[in-house]
Amino acid sequence: MCGIVGYVGSSLAAPILLDGLRRLEYRGYDSAGLAIHDGKQIEILRTVGKLGRLSEALRAHPLQGTVGIGHTRWATHGRPNEVNAHPHVAGGVAVVHNGIIENHLALRHELESDGVKLLSDTDTEIAAHLVNRALSNGCSTLFEAVRHALRQIQGAYAIAVVCASEPGVIVVARNASPLVIGLGDDANLCGSDIPALLDHTRNMVFLDDGELAEIRAKQVRIETVDGRVVQRPPKHIDWNPMMAEKGGFKHFMLKEIHEQPRAVEDTLRGRVNLAAGDVAGEEIGLSAEVARSITRVYFVACGTSYHATIAGRYWIEQLARVPAVVEMASEVRYRDPVFTPTDLVVAVSQSGETADTLAAVKAARAQGAKVLAVANVLDSAIPRLADASLYTHAGPEIGVASTKCFTAQLAALLMLAVYLGRRRESLTEERARQVLQALIEIPNQMRTLLGQAPYLLGIAKRFVNATDVLYLGRGLGFPIALEGALKLKEISYIHAEGYAAGEMKHGPIALIDENVPVAVVCPRDSLYEKVISNVQEVRAREGRIFAVATSGDSAIAELAEHLFLLPEVREEVLPLLTVVPFQLLAYHVADYKGTDVDQPRNLAKTVTVE
């Protein structure tokens, strides 16, 4: 996820901005840049790679002003290169931006037909041109020009803007992406995150959605886009820098579990067309012709991403009615598999760099199959090799155990299934609309579940001394049983197995006694009765059950020792909710055990070796 820092005061801005950006480095980025106003004009410096490169460039070409904005970019639209790095410039205006402008394609066409020549592939450059056009068309201040531009922009943004004709001013705005203003003595600052400002002030004002602010060295003015004046007292932040990086959470993993509503929202943003009951084709990159001509969807992935593909397979079969198979990439690469030119190979990888998945993609391409990458890191190796890419927009994931990337992958795969189903006419507009509506409601339902997180603390205590845990689920609950078990074993080092509940009596039932906790994915879906029978079999052997179930289910309440309840939702979207309590359970068990939650032993975030 990108980082923003801004400074208006009497000291040299560039070193302050660079330090602020360094405080955000832990989040990951691929390029960085500064725009400094020296009182007469704005100078821009942008470099690809780490901040050391920007620092070197600054030494070679010092920037003298006392007002400026800085940015670290984590690419979402356009490759990570210098042209796409922020700040983006139009006329005398320079803009840095976090988030995704949903209607960027329509705005791009509109600006181009107005004679504007866009230099980058980014949505941010569009914002710079909108502000510049508003100034040229008579807006008398930068503040009004930004307000005018925001009225045309849909989507998520935190932006900071400076303009040559108004030295001493930064204008910031936010919608669905955080933006905080830091109040100093003779200087004011702004940033996307608290750590960027902590060296200078602990008094901070948080912008709300739909607000913009004009920041001067000794004055800050906040209004809503609609023109209402906002008076908001600052908050005193007493976090230490480590706490600030983790947003006040104890570990990155916990922070990332709580970021899932936003990760899913950003992955859906600009892609779902509810009115048409459809998903935007240009975001998926597969033509309608390809969607109709494929005869099989072949998923390849590893680990948590592999679990997402199992749900993907169920969705593709149910909604698009295409035969679908799922295979671990490490098996595909050495199995001499058979692919055909009418296969669509869907390679799912949060890092986009996993060696086994990359090798499976190469094998598929060599036999002429089409490849679609579902990845979280723009322009990583797997998307570069693929015919098309569908990016998840979860932002950088720092905890080694994947959480928000998993739910973002689920959202992407469900959209893919709807897209294929609509092109192949196996899915009615009405059902597609219902599924998409349910998907759009997921982020808020996740927020409600996360609000109940403390309830899992007590349950986690009961798991801490277990040596083995069995996870069971059927249908769309099966990949969640696998993922729940993987999360627990990865970070708590407790042995855990995920099984298809129907497979239990073919072996694992022998394990069950009063010492083996059994975690069951048991929402009220079409396989509910079947899962309940399995739960009864566990109970009959004194097994202790933790069930994730639907609110109001009295049958499971009688069988389970511990329950975590979900709202009633459409079956198709259930995995995006059922996984959340299992992630939290694993987290709290590991935290009680005192393991290194964010960097569990023997594991790496990106596995670029076999």
Least separation, in Å, of the C-beta of 404 and ligand F6R? 11
Nearest to 480 by CA among 602, 606, 585, 382: 585
Least separation, in Å, of the C-beta of 486 and ligand F6R? 6
Closer Cβ to ligand F6R, 188 or 354, answer by number: 354
The residue with tokens 């922070």 is 255
DSSP state of 477: G
Least separation, in Å, of the C-beta of 606 and ligand F6R? 6
Is 605 a catalytic site residue? Answer: yes
Least separation, in Å, of the C-beta of 609 and ligand F6R? 11
* CB neighbour list of residue 315: distance below 8 Å, 6 or more residues apart: 413, 414, 416, 417, 572
Distance between CA 113 and CA 271 in Å, rounded? 24
- The tokens describing 141, both together, are 């201040």
Closer Cβ to ligand F6R, 300 or 545, answer by number: 300
Distance between CA 495 and CA 466 in Å, rounded? 9
Distance between CA 371 and CA 365 in Å, rounded? 7
Closer Cβ to ligand F6R, 132 or 402, answer by number: 402
Closer Cβ to ligand F6R, 175 or 354, answer by number: 354
Q: Which residue is nearest to ligand F6R (CB)?
A: 303
Least separation, in Å, of the C-beta of 534 and ligand F6R? 26
Least separation, in Å, of the C-beta of 306 and ligand F6R? 7
Closer Cβ to ligand F6R, 302 or 413, answer by number: 302
Distance between CA 119 and CA 438 in Å, rounded? 38
Closer Cβ to ligand F6R, 347 or 435, answer by number: 347
Nearest to 519 by CA among 577, 464, 569, 563: 563
Closer Cβ to ligand F6R, 452 or 606, answer by number: 606
For the chain, the maximum distance between any two Cα atoms, rounded to a whole number of angstroms, is 80
Least separation, in Å, of the C-beta of 257 and ligand F6R? 12
Distance between CA 298 and CA 36 in Å, rounded? 50
Is 530 a catalytic site residue? Answer: no
Nearest to 358 by CA among 380, 388, 389, 326: 380
Strand partners, 188: 8, 183
Distance between CA 478 and CA 220 in Å, rounded? 53
Least separation, in Å, of the C-beta of 320 and ligand F6R? 23
Cβ–Cβ < 8 Å for 499, 469: no
* CB neighbour list of residue 254: distance below 8 Å, 6 or more residues apart: 246, 587, 597
The residue with tokens 């032993």 is 601
Nearest to 488 by CA among 564, 364, 590, 375: 590
Distance between CA 501 and CA 530 in Å, rounded? 9
Cβ–Cβ < 8 Å for 215, 190: yes
Closer Cβ to ligand F6R, 267 or 304, answer by number: 304
- The tokens describing 419, both together, are 């897209």
Q: Coil, strand, or helix at residue 465?
A: coil
Cβ–Cβ < 8 Å for 49, 82: no
Least separation, in Å, of the C-beta of 121 and ligand F6R? 24
In angstroms, what is the C-alpha Rg of the chain?
25
Closer Cβ to ligand F6R, 133 or 393, answer by number: 393
Cβ–Cβ < 8 Å for 120, 87: no
Least separation, in Å, of the C-beta of 363 and ligand F6R? 16
Closer Cβ to ligand F6R, 546 or 587, answer by number: 587
Cβ–Cβ < 8 Å for 175, 209: yes
Distance between CA 8 and CA 502 in Å, rounded? 63
Least separation, in Å, of the C-beta of 602 and ligand F6R? 12
Transcribe 78-137 into DSSP letters: S-SSTTTSSPEEETTEEEEEEEEETTHHHHHHHHHHTT----SS-SHHHHHHHHHHHHHT
Q: Coil, strand, or helix at residue 180?
A: strand
Going through 278-363 in order, the beta strands assigned E by DSSP cover 278-279, 296-301, 324-328, 343-349
* Burial profile 584-599: b = 16 or more Cβ within 10 angstroms, e = fewer: bbbbbbbbebebebbb
Residues within the interface to ligand F6R (CB under 6 A) = 302-305, 349-351, 354, 357, 401-402, 486, 490, 606-607
Exactly one of 2, 163, 190, 522 is catalytic; name it. Answer: 2
Q: Give me the numbers of helices (H) and strands (E) for the chain, helices first please.
A: 21, 27
Closer Cβ to ligand F6R, 265 or 490, answer by number: 490
Active site residues: 2, 605
